[in-house]
Amino acid sequence: MLALVRDMAAGQHPCTPVLVAANDPNAGGLAKAAALGIPTAAVDHRPFGRDRAAFEAALLRPILAAEPDILCLAGFMRILTPAFSRHFEGRMLNIHPSLLPKYPGLNTHQRALDAGDAEAGCTVHEVTAELDAGPILGQARVPVLPDDTAETLADRVLAQEHRLYPAVLRRFAMGDRVPLMLG
């Protein structure tokens, strides 16, 4: 999130941040966004229990009020219902810490290590109803090193996430959906 808004602040960017929203009221990104003067919203999913539609209706209120053209998920960990994903289809992005279509879902780094992969990485994709399966907009690759743990691999991938996502967002906002392949 910070990498995206810092890139916007760096100038000559097609986007401006209109809202940083989180489902965790304690998410560190909320305070960081507020410190940068960006409006924030926190909608805790927990009081809604299993009612994802009710959670999303509450989340949708501040989002619609902010009138965004594009939504960027970054570490957003609540699976979105088909209704929500359809509402923003074609203008909602996510960054996922694997080289999709490998390892959709959770625990991506451990799964790459367990498979003995020589390479790992991250993917920016459009969010559709099907989890981590929307059109791929960019990928960055890193080597898996012999002594890697899920944590050391995650750190190496995260550095690439901070490079890839701003680059893909700039292109996407200009209408360019050709996948950007880095490293």
**Which residues of this protein are in contact with ligand NHR, per CB under 6 A?**
73, 76-80, 85, 94, 96, 105-106, 127, 129, 131-132, 134
Residue the block writes with tokens 């700039």 = 170
Given 13, 87, 96, 125, the catalytic residue:
96
DSSP string, 78-131: SPPPHHHHHHTTTSEEEEESS-TTSS-SS-HHHHHHHTT-SEEEEEEEE--SST
Least Cβ distance, residue 10 to ligand NHR (angstroms): 25
Whichever of 18 and 133 has its CB closer to ligand NHR, that residue is 133
Whichever of 15 and 72 has its CB closer to ligand NHR, that residue is 72
Whether 96 is a known active-site residue: answer yes
Least Cβ distance, residue 65 to ligand NHR (angstroms): 21
Least Cβ distance, residue 54 to ligand NHR (angstroms): 14
Cβ atoms of residues 47 and 29 within 8 Å:
no
Strand partners, 139: 123, 181
Q: What is the CA angle 51-21-164, rounded to 5? A: 115
Whichever of 38 and 72 has its CB closer to ligand NHR, that residue is 72
Catalytic machinery residues? 96
